[in-house]
Amino acid sequence: MAGANNRSLKAAGIPKATIQTLRVESGGRLSLKSAITLAGERGLAVGKAQSFLAKREVGAAKRPEAQQAAGDFRAKAAAGFKATAARTTKENRAAVLAARLQERAGNMSGTARGERAYDRAQGVLKAYPGAAPLADQVRRERQLEARQFVARTMRTSMSNATRVGAGLPPTRSERIANLLAQRATQAARSADWRSTARNARAAAKAAAQSEGVGSALDRYRQQVKTAAREKERSDLSAMTARVRDNMATGRAALAGAPKPRGGLERTVVRGFVDRKASVQNVRAIAKSGDFFVHKSGGFGSGYGVTHRPSGTTIYQSHSASAARAAMDGVAKSGGKILSRIEGGDIRAAKALSRYTRGLESAKFYNAAHRKYDKRA
């Protein structure tokens, strides 16, 4: 309340004697707040003026225009704080980058890379002038740490190994400490990147040196694999053709032969010289599904596993136990596989070939004898 008169001061609760004294000593215009302040400085009584002023200020603060003004002030203050924080963050980053570039320029003085680092540092500091003193102190702090390390290692004293000798403040501020921590983190990350790049280059160089031998070996291996696949495909095609021919010949022979009597089974055999197909009646030793085991004669005397619908013998062995085990292996799906082979399915031929190879292993023979020898 600028220029309050005596009536206003008296209404606020200031005693008349205090008002007269303040008018004589101040000689100028007084507001209620300045009158209370001067009276307090001179030890004069103010009565209830302080509580009156407090109530008036509270009432003024509750008015809409006052609240709007306070809100605007807080918004401006928050925006100012945010802008200051953003500027501080940018200056910190610029200071760390400039200090690193200045160190590189000093270590590579006289080289093209050193000159580029110097020019870049100058550009960063020009864009952020506030980062210049920070970058300078960070660089000198790192130099001091290096000197102190040398002094500890050499167990000697150096005049410039102290903060005063290095021209630094007596204590390190929290901001500078944070910048040094950021610089150390960046240095460690850069070392990791350099190590990774160095290892990658070494690996690439080693691979390039062995490229000739490796590529030749790879080509040889590829040629071997290709030849093996082609041979397998050729063998399976020949097997498919052979099975189709045997089954067609067997079906035709069985169709023209009389049915056996007395529980006998029929198998189709080919002549050793003329390869002419003929039907033989045999007694089955064991039966399962479309297959049966029987004793075979001739040069290949032993036991055979024959497919009943076509009379084709798919397996022969000198061991009855092995023949029975082989029959058990094809009893469930062997007929379907032979039908697929008869239709030209190479994958079915591959499955049958894989199964017959397994029948030649010692593991199969041992398992067959353990299972069937006691039953024979």
**pLDDT greater than 50 at residue 1:** no
Average pLDDT of the residues of the chain? 81
Shared domain check, 367 and 291: yes
Query: Where is pLDDT greater, at 319 or 271?
Result: 319
pLDDT top residue among 223 and 204? 223
In a domain, 260, yes or no: yes
Does 279 share its domain with 305? yes
Are 11 and 101 in a shared domain?
no
Instruction: Identify whether residues 31 and 95 lie together within a single domain.
Output: no
CA atoms within 13 A of residue 330's CA, in its CB half-sphere? 32
**Strand (E) or helix (H) holding 154:** helix 131-154
Domain end call among 129, 161, 189 = 189
The 3-class secondary structure across 40-70, one letter per residue, is HHHCCCCCCHHHHHHHHHHHHHHCHHHHHHH
Q: How many CB atoms lie within 10 A of CB 229?
A: 10
**Any domain includes 216:** no
Residue 363 pLDDT greater than 90, yes or no: no
- 267 occurs within a structural domain: yes
- Separation between Cα atoms, residue 37 and residue 39, nearest integer Å: 5
Residue 353 pLDDT: 87
Residues 251, 349 within the same domain: yes
**pLDDT per residue as tens digits for the range 282-299:** 999 999 889 999 988 755
CA distance 291 to 255: 18
3-class SS letters over 64-88: HHHHHHHHHHHHHHHHHHHHHHHHH
Residue 121 structural domain: 70-189
Same domain, 131 and 82: yes
Look at residues 32, 62, 92 and tell me which one is the last residue of a structural domain: 62
Residues 240 and 283 in one domain: yes
Measuring CA to CA, how many Å separate 299 from each of 4, 36, 284, 316, 326? 141, 137, 20, 12, 21
Tell me if 83 is assigned to some domain: yes
Partnered with residue 237 across adjacent β-strands are none
Residue 20 shares a structural domain with residue 118: no
Letter string b/e over residues 69-80, b meaning 16 or more CB atoms within 10 A of that residue's CB: eeeeeeeeeeee
For residue range 36-89, what is the model confidence (pLDDT) as tens digits?
777 777 667 766 767 777 777 666 656 676 566 666 777 787 788 888 888 888
Residues 184 and 76 in one domain: yes
223 located within any domain: no
Eight-state DSSP code of residue 159: G
Tally the domains of the chain.
Answer: 3
Q: Which pTM does this prediction carry?
A: 0.41
Residue 208 falls inside a structural domain: no
| 227 within some domain | no
Same-domain pairing of 240 and 355 = yes
pLDDT digits (tens, 9 = 90+) for 181-220: 888 888 888 888 888 888 888 877 777 666 554 567 777 8
Q: Are residues 83 and 48 part of one domain?
A: no
At 294 the pLDDT is 92
53 and 96 share one domain: no
Answer yes or no: is 199 within a domain. Answer: no
95-110 tens-digit pLDDT = 888 888 888 888 888 8
